[in-house]
Amino acid sequence: MNKAGSISILHVIFLSMTVIGLKNHVTILPSLLMHAGRDAWMSVFIAAVTMIPWLFLLVYIHRSSKQVSLTDWLHTKIGSVPTAIFRYVTALFFLLMAVFTMGETLQWIKSTFLPESPLVLMILIYSILCIFLASTNLQTIVMVNVVVLFWVVVLGFFVAITNIQVKDYSLLRPFFEHGFKPIISSSVYPASGFIELLLFLFIQQNVKGRFRWYHYAIMLFILHSLTMGPLIGAITEFGPHEAAKQRFPAYEEWGLVSIGRFIQHLDFLSIYQWLTGAFIRVSFILYIVTDLLQTKGDRIRTWRILGPAFLFLSLSLFLINEPIFLKIKGDYLLIATFFFMLLLTVFLTLMALIKKGAAKEV
């Protein structure tokens, strides 16, 4: 069934640039630089190439489910109880993804621009905004994303072009400085972002037309470019060793921006990039969570169920001191995201192999 949805595939591509682009553009860089050093860009290339066969699994799942809601499709395959387990486990993990995105964003704000601002107040304001957008509908999220993404892209090209004057590409050599092992092992970090393309299967019932392999290939190429840009920029502007020590390499690149002798300190423009990216990413993930928890379209239930859970987890996250937060994010969450999404892919592929009508109602 090729069901007519409410958004186009072009909108999905734009969403991928914001929702996953923020992670690959910002979040994974410290871990990638720390473990792979100057050869980190090779890890990104290897991750992108190895993910290409996985894209065809997404297309297979998409076609087998006939573009209906994944939870409805699973209900016909394995029954109500296993589907409920799938919904709640997946919703919990996605909720953790959203919480860590917001946590990293607010920690960046507090450590750079608003060190004296009450953290609880920032959490409350940002949580309300994100849950409000998530409780609307997918069309609203898409429209907001299209508006903010234009300026995010413009500012991205601006910082990349302006900083050409301070880049030293000889810092990318020597290649394979520490051999192949750190390059291969570090490829899991960019892959943890690429594999989030699976998220868009959870909104397939709202998309006009079918996903083709080249749609996913386009998104993968864009995400690969969004990762390579700030990564190579950090290495060529600061050197691999200094870049590996930085907590927010993509932000530090803004500190080098200058136009002539008198126009400097333009790093405030990064606030727009990061806040809008995090806003769309968190809101979109929470929208999927509302669908999994079956509260979509019911704002009262969404606020009553999702609101306290998201706020409680966010506040709990800030009770963890900063070094432990960075270790959990870099050494555990990014890797856990990759393997969780991979297991979801395997599970959904196996469900697609089950013949129609073979499952019984549980």
SS3 state of residue 82: helix
Report the alpha-carbon distance of residue 163 to residue 232 in Å, rounded: 12
Q: Is the pLDDT of residue 262 over 50?
A: yes
Chain centroid to Cα 156, Å, comes to 17
Percent of the chain topping pLDDT 90: 62
Bridge partners, residue 263, by sequence: 259
Q: How far apart are CA 50 and CA 228, in angstroms?
A: 16
What is the model's pLDDT at position 227? 95
Average pLDDT, rounded, for the chain? 89
Residue type, 244: A
Q: What is the pTM of this model?
A: 0.93
5 confidence band (pLDDT: 50, 70, 90): low
Distance in angstroms (rounded) separating the CA atoms of residues 224 and 11: 19
Is CATH 1.20.1740.10 correct for 9-353? yes
Query: Is residue 169 pLDDT above 80, yes or no?
Result: yes
What are residue 259's DSSP bridge partners? 263
Cβ distance 267 to 255 under 8 Å? yes
Q: Are 190 and 47 in contact (CB under 8 A)?
A: yes
User: CA 83 to CA 251: how far, in whole Å?
Assistant: 41
pLDDT at 276 over 70: yes
pLDDT of residue 313: 86
CA 30/CA 186 separation, integer angstroms: 11
The pLDDT of residue 355 is 67
| pLDDT range class, residue 1, cuts 50, 70, 90 | very low
Q: How far apart are CA 290 and CA 297, in angstroms?
A: 9
Domain spans of the chain, in order of start: 9-353
CA 15, 112, 101, 335 dihedral sign is positive
Residue 20, C-beta contacts closer than 8 angstroms, at least 6 positions apart:
193, 194, 196, 197, 199, 219, 223, 281
